[in-house]
Amino acid sequence: MLINTPLAMKNEDKKVDNIKKEIKNLENDIENIQEKCSHKDYSVKFILDSRSVRRICDDCEKNLGYASNDELKKHGFTK
Predicted confidence (pLDDT) at residue 1 exceeds the cutoff of 60: no
Distance CA 24, CA 48 (A): 24
Q: What is the pLDDT of residue 71?
A: 94
Mean pLDDT of 65-70: 95
Q: What is the pLDDT of residue 2?
A: 54
Confidence of residue 7 (pLDDT cuts 50, 70, 90): low
Q: Minimal CA–CA distance to 57: which of 74, 72, 44, 70? A: 44
Question: 50 or 8: which carries more pLDDT confidence?
Answer: 50
Q: For the chain, what are the domain ranges?
A: 1-36, 39-79
